[in-house]
């Protein structure tokens, strides 16, 4: 799935769409935790989900400061992110992690764009940059671990 998040013309729209993306990611993480067999993988994924929970808190605070709606759940894209995980579960932990790695590609792309958004002041860009580093770390772990699983 290729995301358009990060191409919004205004900062409030960007924050709202990042929140939708984060809620979709959290739903996928919940699916992964329920479907993985390896307890160590489950623990690591739960830690990553915690990063996404923190992103939602930070983005919600940002949305409130900007006076824009802060979505409390994902959108229709959630069916794609969770559906990939459900289908991959048939093939085991490696396939599940590979499906999640592809989901992480979207969040990495979104935060790369957000970090360079022309309307984002320095303190907002710092929040986006921290989230980007989290997403890159998630993606790298999933890529490495899915190959070993």
Structure confidence at residue 81 as a pLDDT band (50, 70, 90):
low
What is the pLDDT, as a whole number, of residue 58?
98
pTM of the predicted model, to two decimals?
Answer: 0.88
> Which residue do the tokens 């409130």 mark?
64
Number of Cα atoms under 13 Å in the Cβ half of residue 120: 24
Name which residue leads in pLDDT, 93 or 88: 93
> Is 91 in contact with 61 (CB distance < 8 Å)?
no
Give residue-wise pLDDT tens across range 67-79: 998 987 655 554 4
Q: Could you read off the pLDDT of 109-140 as tens digits, one per residue?
A: 999 999 999 999 999 999 999 999 999 999 99
Give me the domains of the chain, ranges plus CATH numbers: 11-148 (1.20.1260.10)
């Amino acid at each position: 799935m290729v995301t358009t998040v990060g191409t919004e013309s205004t900062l409030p729209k960007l924050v709202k769409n990042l929140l939708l993306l984060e809620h979709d990611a959290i739903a996928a993480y919940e699916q992964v935790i329920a479907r993985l067999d390896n307890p160590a993988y489950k623990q690591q994924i739960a830690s990553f989900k915690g990063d996404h929970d923190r992103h939602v808190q930070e983005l919600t605070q940002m949305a409130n400061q900007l006076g824009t709606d802060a979505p409390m759940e994902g959108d229709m894209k959630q069916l794609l992110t969770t559906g990939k995980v459900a289908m991959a579960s048939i093939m085991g932990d490696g396939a599940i992690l590979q499906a999640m790695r592809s989901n992480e590609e979207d969040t990495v792309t979104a935060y790369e764009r957000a970090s360079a958004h022309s309307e984002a002041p320095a303190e907002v860009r710092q929040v986006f940059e921290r989230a980007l580093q989290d997403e890159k770390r998630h993606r790298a772990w999933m890529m490495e671990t899915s190959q070993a699983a």
